[in-house]
Structure 1
Amino acid sequence: MGDHVSPLPGLPGPPQISNHIQQHSNNNNQTGNHTATNNTHPVTPLKMPQNCIPTAPGTPGTPGTPGPQPIPQTPSPAPPPGNPNFEVDLPHDLLQLGWRKYWSRRENRPYYFNRGNGETLWDMPGTIQQTFERNSDPLGINTPPSGPPIHHASPNQQPPPHHQHLSPHHPPPPHMMHLQQQGVKRRASDELGPNAKKIIVPGPWDLEIPTNVIMFEKPQTLFPHPHPEVEVLRFQLMMKLRQTYQEMCHSREGIDAPKESFNRWLLERKTIDQGTDTLFPSYCFPEISVAMYREIMNDIPMKLVRPKYTGEARKQLSKYCEAARKMIETRGTSSEGRKIVKWNVEDTLQWLRRTVGASYEDFQERLSHLKSQCQPHITEAAKSSVEGICRKMYNLSCDYAAKVKEKNQSILVEGGINEHAVKVNAPHQRKVWCYPIQFALPCPNLPTVDFVQDKDKTYLRYKGDTVHVNNAYFHKLEQLYRYGCADDRKFEHFLSRCYMLIKRYNAYFGNVLSGEGAQNQGALPIPVLECLNKQFGVTVECFASPFNCYFRQFCSAFSDIDSYFGSRGPILEFKPHCGSFEANPPFCEELMDAVITHFERLLEDSMEPLSFIVFLPEWRDPTPPALLKLEGSRWKRKQVVVPALEHDYRHGFQHVVTKPEVSVKCVHGTMIVWLQNDAGYQRWGPTEERVDTLLEAFRPGRERERDRTQLLSPTRIPETKPDSANSTYISSSAPPLPPTSLPTSLSA
């Protein structure tokens, strides 16, 4: 694949994604078998077997995943400059025994790696008594010795025979088998010995599916690490901004803020925002949001709803007449416009007085005619006021973003972190497996967060503020953190970051108790996602969160807090070179349009297999521009529609609602469109058989059948929940609970 990219001047050409990679750089996302064999041939990672869907190679930092070994990893810098022989700057006898010296960017110190047996040490071999300790293993690949200690040979002794000298017809001796098993890197939670079982978290997800997405290296983010104090402030300011929006709509226009318009405003602003805050829009042009302006204006002079009965239709028509007349009399507008509105209102009121026994359709038709005649003049009268609301909202958002930034800077100063002195390494122009967002700034000390579990929920408390999540999703967050977090292998910050994650999304959703924001986090049914993976090789979701994701690799709204749990960042900033994706964007027309444009640009730029399966609501009358663009795309391979009320979606708050509430009937049709380049179509093309399988996965009841099968499966790992009567608060800095009290290992 590397032959499609020209090397940059002064930089080596991008290496192929193959077994020829640097195996020993100490990066927190690396795994692999550290052996002395270097005569392997380059292997293209996405080489497809004939007539079947392949098992994709593993993601960085994933122990025991299938695929070519060692797995391509997150990039890491070279050793410190000044010593070209840094790797072999060791005594001669240690070099003969296979020891080499490398540089740890995380710890900013050298470490020692034995190419013969995979052992790693912080101190030079032989200088101290070498025993297995959790903190003495830089790469996390050692295991406690189960046999007698191996004595270091003197320089005059012969080195041990290599593996290739063994006969293929005779098994290697036990000590050689032990050495072969040592090259697999473990997470901190796996450092319990060679017989520790791999943790599989059951639930409506499959976090063990590795990625098939390849991208070029990307720079580290300059966002500061989230902090509980900042998240509390951000939540308070966001709630204040929502309240201000409601008050301005009510006081200036006499209406309630349109439902979900604030959340759509956030989505629309973030498609063009270049600011430094991940939540508040702070650098957008134009300042006036077209989406917010349109939604407010659509509810002036009053919000119209579809009535259920004829009496309600008559009453709504009468109220609209009164609201239109009152507004046109109190607002400054042209005399001609005022005359037109008053004449149409009086004509409609007279029709209401003299008409008896009109049908439901008559009232609705009359209302539609009245609105078409009056709305242009009402819009002219309300234009300056509505623009003032939109501009005020944006200016307040900028002010709140500045307050959040100021709070972040004060925390960095308290922690002795100079954000201007941090050196960011330029990324190499080479292809790697996609990996989570990485921070350039170090993480300041995080305060204590209290934790308690009862029968169904997990509660996290910080300074009297409590958030909660269902137990199954808390265990899911732990597994995602185990795979995705690179700077906290001992889970010292896990509880604090879970609290911040829930707090951030509560601010993003709005009033969770009233269901606000739920539709922006709705997810596809689990059988559909399973089918997308098996039939079309999908391994990444373009719009997800740590709560509703099915795969462990996904794109999400926030580059900072979501990155600890495996996020690759916002999809509009993600530029993959190869892979298969599922895209189910929130229902914001501006965002959907920007996403389709982004996908078409990626397909245009890549010659490698690239596929996007897009799910959009089938809105007609009028048809959104994004839907028209999608239907007319030159990359479209197939288009099907799942009828309304014949399929379900998963609730946007699936991480807090009860299980019977998770499935929500979809009231509109869902359009599915395959956007693929030629190579992607050849590999993951929508054949008739595959499409039929996908449509069958949408059938209501399939998820219940899946749950029943999983419940009866002998490989299912039952969850052990703590007794609610014995639940007590513990601190994130306290010793870990025994396994009987907490089913997953917080001490990892």
Structure 2
Amino acid sequence: MNEEIEIKEEKIIPIWPPLDPGPIQMPPSHLNMPVPNIPQGPPLSQGVEYELPLEIQQQGWKKFWSKRENRPYFWNKLTGESLWEMPVIKPQFDPITDPLGICAPPPTAPIPLAHTAPPVPIMKRRASEEVAGPNAKKFILAGPWDLDVPTNVIILERAPCFYMHSHPEVEAYRCSLLTKLRQSYQEVCHSRESIDAPKDSFNRWLMERKVIDTGYDPLLPSNCYPEISLSMYREIMNDIPIKLVRPKFTGDARKQLSRYAEAAKKIMESRNAEAESRKVVKWNVDETFQWLRKTVGATYDDFQDRLSHLKQQCQPHLSETVKTSVEGICLKIYNLSVEHAKKVRDKSSAILKDHGMELPPPMTIHTTRKVWCYPVQFAIGCPRLPVVEYLPDRDQAMLRFQGDTLAINSSHLQKLEHLYRHSCFDDRKFELFIPRVWVMLKRYATFLGVNPSSNTASSDVQDTQQSLPVTVFECLNRAFGVTFECFASPLNCYFKQYCSAFADCDSYFGSRGSFLKLKAVSGSFEANPPYSEELMEASVNHMERLLSDSPEPLSFIVFMPDYREPTPNALIRLESSQFKRKQVTIPAYEHEFRHGFQHVLSKSELNVRSVQGTVIVWLQNTTGHQRWEPSEDRVQALLEAFRPGRERERDRQELLSPTRQGSTSDAKDVVVH
């Protein structure tokens, strides 16, 4: 006897085209659908019998008999879904641009069956649910995040990503070229201006370039205008003739004044400077040396005041003299980046050609169709990926490819697995998971200039990747309905929905791409942009455009460092916005952030006291303000959640009462209706 006996056989018309190995990702409704364990049994030969409606048959449903339960059940050959009750006719919709079907017409009610009992709620045929109920099991991933928060963000549909899928060989080649570019920057600064490359200037150059870059590489700038970066130019010029630091002792202040005078004199003598500029600098330098020889017992402040006066008199003439040389440095680094990007593209094209594919041209979509926010999709399929070694090591996992080993905490690897399950639909068996994690780790390590052997970088780079404490995110979600992070990464995100710097390697883990390209219509957002003046200013401008264009509820809670010198255009722009509803400032050392390398550090090293103040600004349109108003009690709850040690208190309370539901981060119970 056959294991399965079909009651009605009809021609099936699938609602989706057959899938290639991953060019288009399937909608979330097709994620992890169980393949039913179909029992044996004879066909239905007695009792009431009925036929399936044509619409249901066209969606892949067929009717079978369960000997174990002695009743019919329904199975979908397209999705593997199995139900006891008559399935509902689902509306057809585009799974890519509208994965949740919010733009589709409402579903029609199921056709009633003659001589049958009243319909009951549709349930999946799972034994665990039949025994203990639908709420018996719920998978909760422990850690400083909440990946089950539902979204309230609606966007306009967008074109698929034209980048190549993550590939370890391509990424290793790209990162080696970026490392060479970073070294070239140091060498050219030293050879032309006798200075070290300004600290973290290269990283800020990458962020500043990506604001205006329209090239074909996700990391290396390749099509920017203007070609000379104002950010890089400004930072190099600030270190000429020497890099100035605040000295600790009076002797250090005296040495720095002398070194500045010597370096200024050397530049004017070795360069083709104008006669008037050479005369002014020489006169001020000679006067400074005379003062140093004659003055005995000068104080720390005396040396600092003298240095400030000398810089004020000489710096304009020095800048004019070295202007052409500094511009040449900026142009040389950009041109090298363009060459490297072309090499990476050629290597990508060669790999795709071996698999019978090619890189697509950039695509644009002009539409006003509103959809739930969904992860970035790819326009092409994924080629076969090489093997990446997975080496578990106590609380960490080591991923190795071609001798390049990267570390990640086991808890964060589990988080990536959870995000992957939520957002990636072309790899249900997780065969590509480890290679894609390696590519993502390699991208961020190279972008931040991390030492691979120690997983360490400078403090400024750590600040670039730092995130808000867990208690603050919990309060933002509860008090202001926040479900989306505008600037995050798979490693430091709290929600499963976020924008990040690299759409190609982050999309598998939930990234919605660049925030500057996100056309949000409604929702509540948290924005803590990296410390790049150009990126922060562009972000504020983008928020204002979105708020102006949308009549639906839209809210941005923006966190920025309280930098007042040099002139912070982004902060001034934020504070003067017409959509500003509330502004508060948290003083320095009175709040904490989570460390930028939380994915490799121990729990005791995660919380870092902020050394500068933080400005919090609420930007909301009228409907957004009505829904998520920054009232006094809500703002106070947020400030309390920022208090140093609040996250450790929360963790301690969870250990003492692990079954307690909800958060303990706020002193007041704030509810959003």
TM bucket (normalised to shorter chain) is: 0.7 to 0.9
**2:250–2:299: 8 Å Cα contact kept in structure 1?**
yes
Q: 1:408 aligns with which of 341, 345, 348?
A: 348
The separation in 1 between residues aligned to 2:176 and 2:379, in whole angstroms, is 27
Q: Distance in 2 between matches of 1:257 and 1:394?
A: 15
CA deviations on 1:195-252 (whole Å, 9 max, x unpaired) are 9944321111111111100012212111111211100001100110000001111111
Asked whether the equivalents of residues 28 and 422 of structure 2 are also in contact (C-alpha less than 8 Å), the reply is no
Letter in 1 for 2:124: Q
TM-aligned CA distance change 1:437 to 1:354, over 3 Å:
same
How far does residue 318 in structure 1 lie from its aligned partner after superposition? 1.1
Residue 549 of structure 1: how far off its partner (Å): 0.2
Deviation at 1:267, TM superposition (A): 0.6
Secondary structure at the counterpart of residue 617 of structure 2: strand
- 1:349 and 2:306 aligned: no
Say whether residues 1:552 and 2:496 are aligned partners: yes
**Is the 1:423–1:440 Cα contact (8 Å) retained in structure 2?**
no
What is the rounded CA distance, in whole Å, between the counterparts of 1:29 and 1:609 in structure 2? Answer: 29
Structure 2 CA distance for partners of 1:587 and 1:579, relative to 1, 3 Å: same
Q: CA deviation at 1:631?
A: 0.9
Contact 1:609/1:677 (8 A) holds in 2: yes
- 2:321 aligns with one of 381, 385, 390: 381
Paired residue total: 587
Q: For the Cα contact (< 8 Å) 1:202–1:716, is it kept in 2?
A: no
* Cα displacement string for residues 293-316 of structure 1 (whole angstroms, at most 9, x for unaligned residues): 000010011000011111111111
Tell me: CA distance 1:142–1:464, structure 2 relative to 1, closer, same or farther (3 Å). farther
Give the aligned CA root-mean-square deviation in angstroms: 3.1
Counterpart of 1:682 (choices 611, 615, 626) is 626
Structure 1 range deviating more: 512-521 or 582-591: 512-521
* Per-residue deviation, residues 611-654 of structure 1 (Å, max 9, x unmatched): 00111111113331111111111000011000011111111111
1:721 match: none
Give the match for residue 4 of structure 2: none
Moved more, 387-396 or 660-669: 660-669
Q: Report the Cα offset of residue 96 of structure 1.
A: 3.8
- Taking structure 1 as reference, are residues 400 and 419 closer, same or farther at Cα in structure 2, changes over 3 Å only? closer
Cα 1:425/1:363, change in 2 over 3 Å: closer
- Using the alignment, how far apart are the partners of 1:209 and 1:165 within structure 2? 39
**Structure 1 residue 360: Cα displacement:** 1.2
Alignment of 1:498-509 (within 5 A): 498-509=437-448
**Out of 95, 100, 103, which is 2:57 matched to?**
100
1:25-67 per-position Cα deviation (integer Å, ceiling 9, x unaligned):
68955456xxxxxxxxxxxxxxxxxxxxxxxxxxx9699xxxx
Distance change >3 Å, CA 251–CA 349, structure 1 → 2: same
1: distance between equivalents of 2:376 and 2:424?
10
Indicate which of 694, 697, 710 corresponds to 2:654: 710
Tell me the residue number matched to 2:467: 523
- Is the Cα contact below 8 Å between 2:32 and 2:428 reproduced in 1? no
> 1:558 touches 1:569 (CA, 8 Å); kept in 2?
yes
Structure-1 residue corresponding to 2:231: 291
Instruction: Determine whether 1:333 maps to 2:273.
Output: yes
Partner of 1:113: 61
Report the equivalent of 1:494.
Answer: 433
Letter in 2 for 1:662: L
1:700 is displaced (CA, Å) by 0.2
Q: Which residue of 2 aligns with 1:626?
A: 570
Structure 1, 694-703 or 215-224: larger mean CA deviation: 215-224
Percentage identity across paired residues of the two chains = 56
What CA distance in whole angstroms lies between the structure 2 residues aligned with 1:535 and 1:625?
A: 30
Distance (whole Å) between structure 2 residues aligned to residue 514 and residue 315 of structure 1: 31
Provide closer, same or farther for how the CA distance between residues 137 and 533 of structure 1 changes in structure 2, counting only shifts above 3 A: farther
Number of the residue aligned with 1:538: 482
Q: Any idea what SS the aligned residue of 1:100 has? A: helix
The one-letter code matched in structure 1 to 2:400 is: R
- Report the Cα distance in structure 1 between the residues aligned to 2:150 and 2:412, rounded to whole angstroms: 20
**Within 2, Cα distance between the matches of 1:423 and 1:303?**
43
Whole-Å separation in 2 of the counterparts to 1:160 and 1:554: 41
Residue 526 of structure 2 is matched in structure 1 by: 582
The 2-side partners of 1:307 and 1:464 are apart by 43
1:449: which partner in 2?
388
Instruction: Provide the secondary structure at the position in 1 that maps to 2:267.
Output: helix
Cα 1:138–1:505 shift into 2, 3 Å: farther
Preserved contact between residue 26 and residue 426 of structure 2 (Cα < 8 Å): no
For residues 182 and 541 of structure 1, the distance between their equivalents in structure 2, rounded to whole angstroms, comes to 33
Match of 1:660 in 2: 604
2:522 corresponds to 1:565: no
| DSSP 3-state at the match of 2:57 | strand
Residue pairs, 1:148-167, within 5 angstroms = 162=113, 166=117
Q: 1:256 to 1:447 in 2, by over 3 A?
A: same
Query: What corresponds to 1:478 in structure 2?
Result: 417
**In structure 2, what is the Cα distance between the partners aligned to 1:351 and 1:424?**
65
Equivalent residue runs for 1:4-23 within 5 Å = none
Which residue does the alignment assign to 2:197?
Answer: 257
The two structures have a TM-score, normalised by structure 1, of: 0.74
Choose from 631, 638, 645 the match for 1:701: 645
Is there any run of 5+ residues in structure 2 with no aligned partner, and where?
1-13, 18-23, 34-49, 67-72, 86-109, 662-673
Aligned to 1:648: 592
In structure 2, which of residues 159, 162, 165 is the aligned counterpart of residue 225 of structure 1? 165
Tell me the amino acid that sits aligned with residue 469 of structure 1.
Answer: I
Describe the shift of the 1:310–1:672 C-alpha distance in structure 2 as closer, same or farther (beyond 3 A). same
Distance of aligned partners of 1:494 and 1:95 in 2 relative to their CA distance in 1, 3 Å threshold = same
**Residue 703 of structure 1 aligns to which amino acid in structure 2?**
E
Deviation at 1:164, TM superposition (A): 12
1:277 aligned to 198, 217, 232, which one?
217
Give the CA deviation at 1:423: 12
Tell me the SS of whatever aligns to 1:271.
helix
The aligned counterpart of 1:208 is 148
Shift in CA distance, 353/710, structure 1 to aligned 2, threshold 3 Å: same
Match of 2:37 in 1: none
Evaluate the alpha carbon distance shift between residue 531 and residue 164 of structure 1 in structure 2; reply closer, same or farther with a 3 A threshold: farther
CA 1:288 to 1:480, structure 2 compared with 1: closer, same or farther past 3 Å? Answer: same
How do residues 427-442 of structure 1 correspond to structure 2 at under 5 angstroms? 429-442=368-381
Give distance in 1, aligned partners of 2:522 and 2:611: 34
1:672 aligned counterpart, secondary structure? strand
Give 2:123's aligned amino acid. Answer: Q
Which runs of 5 or more residues in structure 1 are unaligned?
A: 1-22, 33-59, 64-92, 103-111, 120-129, 148-158, 187-192, 718-748
Deviation at 1:715, TM superposition (A): 4.0
Q: Give the residue type in structure 2 aligned to 1:113.
A: W
Q: For the residues of structure 1 that align with 2:115 and 2:335, how far apart are their CA atoms?
A: 69
Instruction: Report the alpha carbon displacement of residue 323 of structure 1 after superposing the two structures with TM.
Output: 1.1
Distance 1:61 1:596 in 2: 36
Query: Structure 1: which amino acid aligns with 2:457?
Result: G
Partners of 2:27 and 2:15 in 1: CA distance: 9
Taking a change above 3 Å as real, the CA distance of residues 348 and 682 of structure 1, as seen in their structure-2 partners, is same
Shift of 1:181: 1.1
Matched residues in 1 for 2:134 and 2:428: separation? 18
Corresponding letter in the other structure for 2:57: R
Identify if the C-alpha distance between structure 1 residues 243 and 28 changes in structure 2 by more than 3 Å, giving closer, same or farther.
Answer: closer
Counterpart in the other structure of 1:458: 397
